[in-house]
Structure 1
Amino acid sequence: MSREIIPLHIMSAFQAEPPELDFVIPGFLAGTVGSLYAPGGVGKSFLALEIAASVAGVDLLGLGHHHTGRTLYIALEDPEIVLRRRLYAIGSHLSSQQRELFAEKVEVLPMLGVPFDLQDGQHADWLTERAEGIRLIIVDTLSRSHSGDESNNGEMANLLRVLERIGANTGAAILFLHHVNKSSGRERNGDQFAIRGASALLDNARFGAAITYVEDDDAAAGVRIRYAVSKNNYAAPIPHRYFLRHEGGVLLPAPQEQDEETGESPKEQRMGQRRNHKPKALPSLLNPFGSPYLAAKNGETHAW
Structure 2
Amino acid sequence: MEPHKPAPGLKRAAQLIDKAKPPVQWVFEPSTLQGSPVPPRLWCVPDWIPDKVVTLLSGDGGTGKSLLAMQLATSCATGALFLGMEIAARKVLYLSAEDDQDELHRRQADINRSMGIDFEDLDGKLFWKTLSGEEALLAIPDEKTKRLKSTAAYNNLRNACRDEGIQLVIIDTLADTFGGLEIDRQQVTRYVRLAEAIARDNNAAVVILAHPSAAGLREGTGISGSTAWRNAVRSVLYLSKPEPADGDPPDRDARTLERIKGNFAPGSATINLRYVDGAFEVDEAESGSAFDQFATENKLLHIIKRGLSAGVHLSPSNRAEMYIAKHLKKSGEFGRMTLRQIHGLYERMLANGHLRIASIGTGKNKKSVIAPYDYPFLPDERDPETGEKRGN
TM normalised by structure 1 equals 0.74
Q: Secondary structure at the match of 2:124?
A: helix
Corresponding position of 2:180 = 148
Letter aligned with residue 261 of structure 2 = K
What are the residue-to-residue correspondences of 1:1-304 with 2, within 5 Å? 7-27=27-47, 28-56=49-77, 57-62=79-84, 64-96=85-117, 99-119=119-139, 120-132=150-162, 133-185=165-217, 187=218, 190-191=220-221, 194-216=222-244, 223-237=253-267, 239-248=269-278, 250-255=279-284, 256-258=286-288
Native 8 Å contact 1:30 1:172 kept in 2: yes
Distance in 2 between the 1:171 and 1:254 partners? 32
1:74-121 per-residue CA deviation (whole Å, 9 max, x = no partner) reads: 00011222111111111111324x644334311111210221322234
How many residues are treated as equivalent by the alignment?
250
TM normalised by structure 2 equals 0.59
Native 8 Å contact 1:135 1:171 kept in 2: yes
Structure with greater Cα Rg: 2
Shift of 1:65: 2.2
Distance in 1 between the 2:251 and 2:197 partners? 44
Moved over 3 A (4+): 5-9, 98-104, 215-222
Letter aligned with residue 38 of structure 2 = P
1:184-240 per-residue CA deviation (whole Å, 9 max, x = no partner) reads: 43x4x543xx31113221211011100111134576975211111111111223531
Distance in 2 between the 1:229 and 1:6 partners? 37
Q: Which runs of 5+ in 1 are unaligned?
A: 262-304
Distance in 1 between the 2:168 and 2:86 partners? 16
Shift of 1:55: 1.5
Native 8 Å contact 1:135 1:172 kept in 2: yes
Q: Secondary structure at the match of 2:34?
A: helix
Shift of 1:128: 1.3
Distance in 2 between the 1:259 and 1:180 partners? 29
Q: Which has the higher contact order (CA 8 A, sep 6+)?
A: 1
Letter aligned with residue 252 of structure 1 = E
Shift of 1:258: 2.4
Q: Which runs of 5+ in 2 are unaligned?
A: 1-24, 140-149, 292-392
Distance in 1 between the 2:250 and 2:179 partners? 44
User: CA 1:203–1:137 in structure 2 vs 1: closer, same or farther (change >3 Å)?
Assistant: same
Shift of 1:162: 1.1
Native 8 Å contact 1:190 1:228 kept in 2: no
* Coordinate RMSD, CA, aligned: 2.5
Native 8 Å contact 1:75 1:111 kept in 2: yes
